[in-house]
Structure 1
Amino acid sequence: MRRLRFNVLLAAAIFTAACVTINVYFPAAQAEKAADRIISDVWGQDSAPRDSVPPDEEPQGRLQSPDGPFAPVTMIRLAATGLLDIVVPRAEAQDIEIETPEIRALTGSMSARHQKLKPYYEAGAIGLTADGLLAIRDRNQVPLAERNTLRQLVEAENRDRNDLYRAIAEANDKPEWEDDIRDTFAQRWIDRASEGWWYRTAPGNWQQK
């Protein structure tokens, strides 16, 4: 009897928690797809192909339990999740809105600037950072007469990137997503950078692709 009561309470708790959090769930997979589309537009042929997903990779969100697939707790979780999928569509299935005039303008600006930044990527003068921005890595790779131009290009690019992350969050009526969108873009910029470009995942920790 106690076990039955525990199982019922657990199911109710799972269902209630899911109902409370369903509206604030960040659709990471859709955000990656949106980021890849924009990166392809900005970098063009300099953008590496999207990483393939191994066929045996576990789908996101699959419930697992050390008690086995038919344990009471596992069955309750599966039932609660299945009911939620019927009652409330999963937020992960929603596409990220990136087709607004502001986002298109920012993407166009970044695309036009990329051809000016590309030689500095290739020279190792600049690199990608873990916060989704650019940083000057080695000024010595740039002639003295060009250093001010490089600084202005990096500052302009970072302004556009910051505005882009905010604009995407606002276009989806989820301003609280801005940090998640930034983190998603930060990883995808690095993942899709060309061979030989530099990036860092921590201050001072530069690595070359």
Structure 2
Amino acid sequence: MKLMRISGLFSLLLLLAACVTINIYFPAAQAEEAAERIVDDILGKPQSESEQNKEKKGAALEQPLFQFLANQTLDFLVPPAEAAQPDFNASSPAVRKLQASMKSRNSALTPHYDSGAVGFTRDAMIAIHDAGAISLKDRNKVQSLISAENSDRSALYKAIAEANGHPEWEPEIRSTFARTWVDKAAGGWWYQNAKGAWVKK
């Protein structure tokens, strides 16, 4: 009987340890929500009140009740796991500075997105899609805009990973942003698909 109790206790400890391990994995849903907020801000697309409310309620509504309750119970039983969750509210000074820089540059880039001269790449950067859509006198200026934007984008993904204490998450953060840039792109803008081919939205 004593052996069964010890075995049961050991199994419970293993389960709790597994829960902690799961909670420190890359939280894709939180990263996606943060990416959407950041990209909306940069592209000048303010969220409506209904979208904000949907974000708050979405996590609970999208999962079955028993799963929601189980997650809440595990979060209560294993509070240290919460500390491992990333701060995807873009609250670090480095993230805010980069976001502001990209937002101020967006007005200069938008006409080139609209003309098809510049598009979103599959690695969450931007590149020239159609050089013929850029006048000869503007080519150096556009190239400078692209270089500055890509520098800020790389730094942003790295800063978010570092702000969360998980620099190894940078590839996942970049991948999340790559999808989000395309999702938030206006109709008629160009982007690269997974195979690297240019596609018009």
Normalization by structure 2: what TM-score? 0.75
Quote the offset at 1:131 in angstroms. Answer: 1.1
Match for residue 176 of structure 1 among 168, 173, 187: 168
After superposition, give the CA deviation of every residue in 1:132-173 in whole Å (9 maximum; x if it has no partner): 110111101111111111111111100000000111111111
CA contact (8 A) 1:200 1:207 kept: yes
CA contact (8 A) 1:127 1:136 kept: yes
Query: Which SS does the other structure have where 1:25 is aligned?
Result: coil
CA gap 1:111/1:20 in 2 versus in 1, 3 angstroms: closer
After superposition, give the CA deviation of every residue in 1:32-68 in whole Å (9 maximum; x if it has no partner): 12112211221104x7987x89x9x8539x87xxxxx
* 1:43 maps to 2:33: no
Query: Partner of 1:20 in structure 2?
Result: 21
Quote the offset at 1:97 in angstroms. Answer: 4.0
Query: Partner of 2:143 in structure 1?
Result: 151
CA gap 1:94/1:87 in 2 versus in 1, 3 angstroms: farther
Q: Which runs of 5+ in 2 are unaligned?
A: 1-7
| d(CA) in 1 for partners of 2:89, 2:162 | 9
RMSD of aligned alpha carbons: 3.6
Query: Which SS does the other structure have where 2:44 is aligned?
Result: helix
CA gap 1:82/1:13 in 2 versus in 1, 3 angstroms: farther
Question: Which structure shows the higher helix fraction?
Answer: 2
CA contact (8 A) 1:106 1:160 kept: yes
Query: Which SS does the other structure have where 2:175 is aligned?
Result: helix
CA contact (8 A) 2:16 2:78 kept: no
Q: In percent, how many aligned pairs have the same letter?
A: 43
* 1:87 maps to 2:77: yes
Query: Partner of 1:68 in structure 2?
Result: none
After superposition, give the CA deviation of every residue in 1:78-115 in whole Å (9 maximum; x if it has no partner): 98x78644422465976424122211111111111111
